[in-house]
Amino acid sequence: MARTPRKKRDFLRLTDLAREELLGLLDRAAEWKLLGRGGPKPLAGMAVGLIMEKASTRTRVSFEVAAFQLGGGSVTISPRDSQLGRGEPISDTARVLARYLDALVVRTFGHDRIEEVARWADVPVVNALTDASHPCQLLADLLTVAERFGADALSRGDFPVAWIGDGNNMANSWLEACAVLGFPLRLACPEGFDPDPRLLARAGGRARVVRSPREAAEGALVVNTDVWASMGKEAEQAARAQAFRGFIVDEALVGAADPRAVVLHCLPAHRGEEIAASVLEGPRSAVFDEAENRLHAQKALLELLLG
Ligand code: CP
Ligand code: NVA
């Protein structure tokens, strides 16, 4: 018997959410945080699959726990323990897994690969990081901004953000957040390490790439960084360490920001490279709240897609 395709909604990039939906999701995430382990069970009887083609601590565990706390279950597979590692096409894997599971959360390399999963799987597909973007991390980061500066700051878009370092997947997702919410974003990247120019154009005049970390940090309410060599770029580590000299988020740089500024880092961090240990562990750092917020934000996301 032929199957009737199911209606489904994916979350492959932050701009898949309209502004009001994003603000509503973040309000709901704050409610889930207050509910803790309690609250409704919108995923009762459902199971979420995680396909992890790159390493993960936070994303994997926070999605598994989110599914569990929402009344559902989860299954995680990686190339090491599945036929993906032996070359089974992702299109076959996606179609098969969609027969067992109610959503697929995918961490992979090229963005085209997650788009292929989304094309073949007739269940919601969530981007758990690709080389191009990391939208789930942005949900947690924006929730952290709302906690520190109020939900109104998010809707007014009056929180200047500084991105210091690589124009990588995280920088791209900040550009998408800027396009949706309209806050000012300055990205300090060494020449040759700019974010996606199409996303920069889409964010309009509110986002700007500069070459000086100090220029980006001046007056910022959010100072944000990430590793210099993302997963898949490990072979470039030494060359990047040269190129990124001077791009460390240290106390002097944070001193140029607004005195109320908060420091974010998606983690894992390399102390003494992109961020000084004293900043990561210091009073301006919100990185462990940010990491916790992955759980609450993803509960709101799963509820939106499956509830
Ligand atoms: N921040 C983040 O995505 O962490 P993991 O790589 O541990 O999932
Ligand atoms: N930019 C980093 C983020 C890790 C969560 C990477 O892709 O490795």
The residue whose CA is least distant from atom 2 of ligand 2 is 230
The residue whose CA is least distant from atom 7 of ligand 2 is 230
C-beta separation of 199 from 15 below 8 A: no
Residue 250 corresponds to which tokens in the numbers above? 């240290």
Q: Which of 54, 129, 144, 224 to mutate to test the pocket of ligand 1 (most atoms within 8 A of CB)?
A: 129
CB neighbours of residue 304 within 10 Å: 17
CA of 231, closest atom in ligand 2: 8
Alpha-carbon distance of 5 to 2, in angstroms, equals: 9
The ligand placed nearest to the CA atom of residue 173 is 2
DSSP state of 3: P
Task: Assess whether the C-beta atom of 231 lies below 6 angstroms from ligand 2.
Answer: yes
Buried b / exposed e along 202-212 (16+ C-beta atoms within 10 A): ebeebbebeee
Task: Assess whether the C-beta atom of 226 lies below 6 angstroms from ligand 2.
Answer: yes
Instruction: Name the H helices within 150-228.
Output: 151-156, 169-181, 197-203, 213-217
Task: Assess whether the C-beta atom of 168 lies below 6 angstroms from ligand 2.
Answer: yes
The ligand placed nearest to the CA atom of residue 58 is 1
Task: Assess whether the C-beta atom of 293 lies below 6 angstroms from ligand 2.
Answer: no
pTM above 0.85, yes or no: yes
Residues with a catalytic annotation lie at 107, 134, 137, 226, 266, 294
**Identical fold, 14-133+294-306 and 136-291:** yes
3-state secondary structure of 47: strand
Alpha-carbon distance of 76 to 60, in angstroms, equals: 8
Buried b / exposed e along 157-179 (16+ C-beta atoms within 10 A): eebbbbbbbbbbbbbbbbbbbbb
- Domain at 136-291, CATH homologous superfamily: Aspartate/ornithine carbamoyltransferase (3.40.50.1370)
pLDDT at 7: 85
CA of 291, closest atom in ligand 1: 1
DSSP state of 17: S
Pocket of ligand 1, beta carbon within 6 A: 56-59, 129, 137, 266-267
Average pLDDT value for the chain: 97
Alpha-carbon distance of 90 to 268, in angstroms, equals: 28
CA of 60, closest atom in ligand 1: 8
CA of 137, closest atom in ligand 2: 5
Domain 14-133+294-306, architecture per CATH: 3-Layer(aba) Sandwich (3.40)
The residue whose CA is least distant from atom 3 of ligand 1 is 59
pLDDT at 2: 62
pLDDT at 3: 63
DSSP code per residue over 107-149: E-SSHHHHHHHHHH-SS-EEES--SS--HHHHHHHHHHHHHHH
Taking the centre of ligand 1 as the mean of its atom positions, its distance from the CA of residue 246, in whole angstroms, is 25
Which regions of the chain are under pLDDT 70? 1-6
What are the structural domain ranges in the chain? Answer: 14-133+294-306, 136-291
Cα–Cα separations (whole angstroms), residue 266 to 88, 95, 106, 293 = 32, 31, 18, 11
**Residues 31-78: tens digit of each pLDDT:** 999 999 999 999 999 999 999 999 999 999 999 999 999 999 999 999
